[in-house]
Amino acid sequence: MTYLSDLYIDGTWRPASSGDTLGVADPATGEVLARFAIATEEDCLDAVSSATRAFPAWRAMAPRQRAEILRRTFETLTAEQDRLIELIVAENGKAHADAAAEASYATEFFRWFAEEAVRVAGDFRRSPGGDKDLVVTHEPVGVALLITPWNFPAAMATRKLAPALAAGCTAVLKPAAETPLTAAYIVDVLRRAGLPPGVANLVLPHPAGPAVARMLAHPAVRALSFTGSTEVGRILLREASSSVTTCSMELGGNAPFVVLPGADVDRAVDGAMVAKMRNGGAACTAANRFYVHASLAAEFTNGLTRAMSDLRTGAGSDRRNHHGALVSAEERDKVARLVDEAVAAGAVAHFRAVAPDSGAFYPPTVLTGVQHGSTLTRTEIFGPVAPIITFDEVDEAVSMANDTEHGLIAYVYGPLEDALGVARQLDSGMVAVNRGVASDPAAPFGGVKQSGIGREGGFDGIHEFLETKYIALDAL
Ligand code: NAD
C-alpha cells in the first residue's frame, strides 16, 4: 500500500521545510508503514497564512457550491470505503469490523454537513419597543484549527472538517502523530472533490513543540476544535485564552453502564459488548464502569464473560479477528498497569481472554469485586476491561454514576420508564437507553463537566464554526 505522508499546504503536498520525518507504525506488527513529514513552526504558520488567504473567497462562495464539494467528498469516500478501512486498520490497529463502522460513520459527516451548509438560518424581527428591526445572521468565524486524537483517525477528522468547511471557514488540521495517514488521505479526497487550495491544510508538528501555541496565537485563527484528553484540553484552553479564541472541546469520558432491576439481561449483555468493546475499548464513549443491580449481577457477569470469550483477538487485517490491537505498546502497558493495580487492591480477574504475545494486544477482561471510587473507576481505561460493581438501591447507582469529573455519555438498561427516570438524573451530555451505542452524525455529540464544551454533529455542529451577527435597522 502507498501512503500520503507529506504536509498539505496551499493545495500542494510538500515535505517539511526541515526535511524531518517521524515513523508511523502498524501497532499489530510494529512495522513502520511510512515516515510522515514533521512540520516546523514556519510550516505551520504557512498553513495558517494559506487558510487566511483562502478564507474570503471560500466564505463568499455560494453555500450550494460548497455543499457540492462536500457531497462529492462523501461520494468518493463511499466509493473508496475499502481503502479508508485499510488505512484505519493499518495505522490504528483496530479490528476490521471496528474500522468499517468508523469509516461509514466518518463518511456520513460529509453528507450530513453538505445538507446543513445550505440551511444556516438567521432571523428578522421587530424590536419589542417597535422602533427597530433586528436582523440576526450567522457568519463563518474565520480560520479553524482542528486537532484530533488517534483512536478514531477518520471520524474525528471528518466530524470537524465537514462542519467547518460547510460553515464557510477554512481549516488547518493537525492529526495525532500515531495516525496521520488516514487524515492525509481524507484531505486528498477533498482536493480531488474540487476543494480550492488553502481551504483545508494539514500539518503535523512535533506534539511537544510550540507550533500549536503559535498557530493559536495567530490573529486569523478564530476557532479551535479539539478532541483528545481532558489534560491536553486544559492546556489548550489556557493557550487559547491569550487570543480569546472560540473553543470547542471533546474531551475524556468515564461512562457508567447501569443495569437496573428488571432489565433484560441478555439485551444488557449485548449492549455492554458494544459499549465496552467497540474500538477495542479505546473510545471516549466506552463503558468504563458497570453498575449492576445485585439481583442480576451473577447472570450479567456470566453473560458478559461468555460473550467476551467468544471474541478472537489479533491483527485487524485478518477479518476473522473481532478485537484488534491498542494503538501502541505504551497504551497496552497503561491498561495492564491499571488492571494489575486493581487486582492488587482486591478486584478479582473473573475472566481474562488470550491475546497474541507480540504486538500491542490486551486481552478482553472482566473484573468483579471492584470498589467504586478506586483508581480504576476514576480513570479512563481505554482498553477491553469491564469492571463490575453491584448496587442495591437505584439512588445509590445514580450517585455512583454521577461521581466523576466527566459527563460524556452514560448507558442505562432497564424497564423503559425506570431507565428514562434514571437517564434524567444523570449528569451526562448523552444517555443511551437500552442501547449500546448513541453516536449518530445527525445527533449532537458532546459532554458536560470536564468532558468538554460544545457539540459536534447534528444541527449544533456547524454552529461551533459560526459567529452570530446582529444588524440593527430603523423599523422598515
Ligand atoms: P491526547 O490529548 O493525548 O492528544 C490529542 C491530540 O492533541 C493529538 O493530536 C496530540 O498530538 C495533540 N496534543 C497532545 N499534547 C498537546 C499539546 N501539549 N499541545 C497541543 N496538542 C497536543 O489524546 P489521545 O491520547 O490522542 O486520545 C485519547 C483521548 O481522546 C481520550 O482521553 C479520549 O477520551 C479522548 N477522546 C474524546 C472524544 C470525544 O469526542 N469526547 C473522542 C475521541 C477521543
From the list 367, 371, 332, the residue with the least C-alpha distance to 352 is: 367
Single out the catalytic residue among 108, 250, 380, 464: 250
> Closest ligand 1 atom to the C-alpha of 207?
11
Vertex 140, ends 135 and 144: CA angle to 5°? Answer: 155
β-strand partners of 39: 205
Condensed to tens digits (0 to 9), the pLDDT of residues 381-397 reads: 999 999 999 999 999 99
Q: Of all protein residues, whose CA lies closest to atom 10 belonging to ligand 1?
A: 176
CATH superfamily of 255-433: Aldehyde Dehydrogenase; Chain A, domain 2 (3.40.309.10)
Q: Is 86 a catalytic residue?
A: no
Where in the chain are all domains bearing CATH 3.40.309.10?
A: 255-433
- Binding site membership of 92 for ligand 1 (Cβ less than 6 Å): no
Q: How far is the CA of 229 from the centre of ligand 1 (A)?
A: 4
C-alpha cell at 281: 475499548
One-letter identity of residue 248: S
- Binding site membership of 247 for ligand 1 (Cβ less than 6 Å): no
- Residue numbers in the chain where pLDDT is lower than 70: none
- Binding site membership of 176 for ligand 1 (Cβ less than 6 Å): yes
Quote the pLDDT of residue 427.
98
- Binding site membership of 254 for ligand 1 (Cβ less than 6 Å): no
Is there a contact between 387 and 290 (Cβ–Cβ < 8 Å)? yes
Q: How many angstroms separate the CA atoms of 392 and 396, rounded?
A: 7
Among 204, 232, 234, residue to substitute to test ligand 1 (most atoms within 8 Å of Cβ): 232
- Binding site membership of 457 for ligand 1 (Cβ less than 6 Å): no
DSSP 170-192: EEEEE--TT-HHHHHHHHHHHHH
Residue 241 parent element (H or E):
helix 230-241
Quote the pLDDT of residue 208.
83
Q: How far is the CA of 121 from the centre of ligand 1 (A)?
A: 33
* Fold (topology level) of 7-251+451-472: Aldehyde Dehydrogenase; Chain A, domain 1 (3.40.605)
Q: How many residues are listed for the chain in this entry?
A: 476
- Beta strands 221-227 and 246-250 are parallel
Quote the pLDDT of residue 297.
98
- Beta strands 430-433 and 348-352 are unpaired
Residue 258 parent element (H or E):
strand 255-259
User: Measured between alpha carbons, how far apart are the two ends of the chain, in Å?
Assistant: 63
Vertex 196, ends 191 and 198: CA angle to 5°? Answer: 95
Q: How far is the CA of 148 from the centre of ligand 1 (A)?
A: 6
Q: How many angstroms separate the CA atoms of 357 and 360, rounded?
A: 8
Is there a contact between 370 and 389 (Cβ–Cβ < 8 Å)? yes
Rounded to two decimals, what is the model's pTM?
A: 0.97
How many angstroms separate the Cα of 335 from the Cα of each of 324, 346, 357, 379, 383?
Answer: 15, 17, 15, 10, 6
Taking phi first (over 0 means left), then psi (-120 to 50 degrees means alpha), and beta for anything else, what does residue 454 get? Answer: left
From the list 293, 301, 302, the residue with the least C-alpha distance to 400 is: 293
Where in the chain are all domains bearing CATH 3.40.605.10?
A: 7-251+451-472
